[in-house]
Copies of this chain bind each other. A is one copy, B any other.
Amino acid sequence: MIDVKLGVESLTPIRPIEERIDVWNSISDNQVAFKSIDVAEDYDLLRSTLQEFAPDAVVHFAEQRAAPYSMKSPSTKRYTVDNNVRGTHNLLVALVDLGLDAHVIHLGTMGVYGYGWSGSAPIPEGYLRVKLDTPDGEIEREILHPANPGSVYHMTKTLDQLMLAYYAKNDAVRVTDLHQGIVWGTQTEQTRRDERLINRFDYDGDYGTVLNRFLMQATIGHPLTVHGSGGQTRAFIHIRDTVRCIEIAADNPPAPGERPQIFNQVTETHRVRDLAKLISDLTGAEITNLPNPRVEADENELVVTHNQFLELGLEPTTLSLGLLEEVRDIADKYAHRADQSKIIARSLWRADKAN
């Protein structure tokens, strides 16, 4: 629906969800079912569906998912907050009301931490060990990492965190929060089995992440547009690994009464200008610098702790290994579908950034 409003489309052709389900069920023994519910608006249907299905786990991705979109206008800001907060809260209320001990696996974001806040200390997995002075001497506490969101979208994920923590504490809801980096890559082992199962590849300025924008720009011969100096460091993960992470999380739920378990779902970090260089080397594309539309530091370090998933068996697909496949099998292959007018980011973080 938002696609239609923005006039954008995935570069890869996405079949209707009913068709994708049918295709999957025709090639796999692992049959899946689909039901569309607006979890923010239709609490009763959400509740009755949970009651009927009695899931062991709920993978909760039902949120407006793009930072630039959340900053487009008063209406998209309001939609992002209303939709994301209500969806998460409705799910938690329904589980508690039904007495269902389902493990909630929530999609968070690396953006809850902000960038550069903790000096040279690596970003921990959700919880930060701090010391504070008291009249009885110094004490230590482990706290939820302070929230430093850079957009209304990221802000909603910091609101989610507090709701998840509250319901874990008050009602013993079991929660895993996945602080995901920027997802790249289009195919998983599953979607590769039939072209009609292919995943989205967004490249527009509002929904596309930086890597996909670069790939598209390279493919159509547009210079790679780096915002500011490109010194912003970001964390990345291949889509195959995100799927594996969810599986690992589902296999390792926290105990009831535990605080939310938080994993950093990232496998590597890169500066934006180094990414551009990587793609430029691979494709021959030029690089150009544009003013940064975001209210953020032009340069930042980013060292992210992400041991938990590695210890639980994740074997990452790295950019250096997987990027060529992405150029060849996705960007080049579907280039004829690209809308060239959509590849420059246009959402402004603040009115005075308009110049």
Residues in A lying within 8 Å of B, measured CB to CB = 43, 47, 74, 77-78, 81-82, 85-86, 89-90, 93-94, 96-97, 99, 117-121, 128-136, 138-139, 141, 143-144, 146-147, 149, 152, 155, 158-159, 162-163, 165-166, 169-171, 295, 349-351
Contact = CB atoms under 8 A, between A and B. Distances in A.
Interface centre among A77, A82, A144, A170 (most CB of B within 10 A): A170
A128 B132 contact: yes
Contact of A132 (B89, B131, B147, B171): B131
A47 to B, nearest CB: 8
B131 A131 contact: yes
B78 A93 contact: yes
A81 B86 contact: yes
A78 B90 contact: yes
- For this chain, the copies found in one complex come to 2
Given A128-B132, A131-B132, A143-B143, 15 more contacts: A78-B90, A81-B85, A81-B163, A85-B159, A99-B351, A119-B136, A121-B132, A121-B133, A130-B130, A147-B162, A147-B165, A159-B159, A162-B162, A170-B350, A171-B350
A37 to B, nearest CB: 15
A72 to B, nearest CB: 12
Given A74-B94, A74-B97, A146-B143, A120 B132 contact: no
A159 B81 CA distance: 11
A94 B77 CA distance: 11
8 contacts: A43-B78, A74-B96, A81-B85, A85-B159, A119-B139, A120-B135, A120-B136, A129-B133
Contacts of A97: 74
Given A74-B97, A86-B81, A130-B130, A155 B149 contact: no
Nearest to A85: B85
Contacts of A169: 295
Contacts of A349: 170
A327 to B, nearest CB: 35
Nearest to A94: B74
Given A86-B82, A93-B78, A132 B132 contact: no
A218 to B, nearest CB: 32
A96 B152 CA distance: 13
Contacts of A119: 134, 136, 139
A128 B146 CA distance: 11
A139 B119 CA distance: 8
A188 B86 CA distance: 38
A333 B247 CA distance: 65
